[in-house]
Structure formats: C-alpha cells, structure tokens
Structure 1
Amino acid sequence: MSSQTFVHDFGLAVRQLREARGWSQEMLASHSDLHRTYVGEVERGLVTPSLITLHKLASALGMKASDLLSRTDQIASLRATQYLRLTAIAC
C-alpha cells in the first residue's frame, strides 16, 4: 500500500467514525481541538496527520489510536479485496 493510499484510507476511517456518531466536522473539530477545515482535509486525504493529530482524533472519537489505525487497515483490506474481485471479473 502506498503512503498516499494509507492517508486516504485513514481519512475515510475518520469520516466513517464521525458520521456513525452523527457528528459534523465542526463537532469533531471541537472535540479534538483541531480546526474544522483541517478535519476536512484529513478526511479527504489531503494532509498527512501527525501522531499528535492521530491521538487527538482517536480520543475525540472515544477510542485508542491503535484502534483508529486498525480501522484504517480494515478499509485497506476491503479495498484490496474489491480490487481482486474486479480484476477477476475483467479476466
């Protein structure tokens, strides 16, 4: 997995968890002491968050940083599975 793909998957994990709680980006930003536009950039995979940001987001979402990273890995695995399925169909 490329670094850019990981950053994108991390952002997707953050967005899914935020939406599962019914929170807006503003609410997550407030709970994590981050700016709303930065949260949006994280969710879209436009920025590479620091370890401090990882910790802030995980804490705001009520989880450990390792659990947030595990969620990112799950998304990557699903992406790989879907890619393999599409490749099999194309052959």
Structure 2
Amino acid sequence: MKRPLPSPRMITQADEAMLWLRWLDKDIGQILWARANRKAWKGISWQHGISRATANRRFEYGLAVIVLRLNGKAVPRKRSMAFVIQRTG
C-alpha cells in the first residue's frame, strides 16, 4: 500500500525542520537525518566509523542543540556534550 502524499503544511514543516540541521556539525546533522529516516543504528555507526553508543550521544547532543536554539538560548561552546544534554533535560 502506498503512503499518502504529504499536505502542503507537512512539506512546510519539513522544510523548516531541515533548516535546523544547519545549527549542527555536518556529521551530527547526518546522524539526526539518518535517524529521522529510520535508518538503523548499525548502519549509521558503520557509515561514520563510530560505536553505537557514540552515535547515540551525538544524536542526543544534536537534539539538545536544536532544543536550546529553538528556545532562544545560547549553546555553551566550552562545555561537554553531556552538560549540554543535561541542560535541556
């Protein structure tokens, strides 16, 4: 069965979400995009040459950066990924 075509509103929302990836490093943005497209962690790990745990940490960090930016807050540059993730949680 074919999926229904997206509505104009859904396309606009997807375009806006893709712009958020510009706030991230290239590799982290690629991990987020791959997970958004339901790619398996194993494939992502192999593609980037990292462990699954590292890929997951980068994924969580990318989401945290997007959340902070959408809320109008600055992303601390001289802090660890874990600190940024905890700041949003």
TM-score bin (small chain): 0.3 to 0.5
- Work out which of the two has the higher radius of gyration on C-alpha atoms and give 1 or 2: 2
More helix by share: 1
Structure 1 length as normaliser, TM-score?
Answer: 0.39
Question: Larger relative CO (CA 8 A, sep 6+): 1 or 2?
Answer: 1
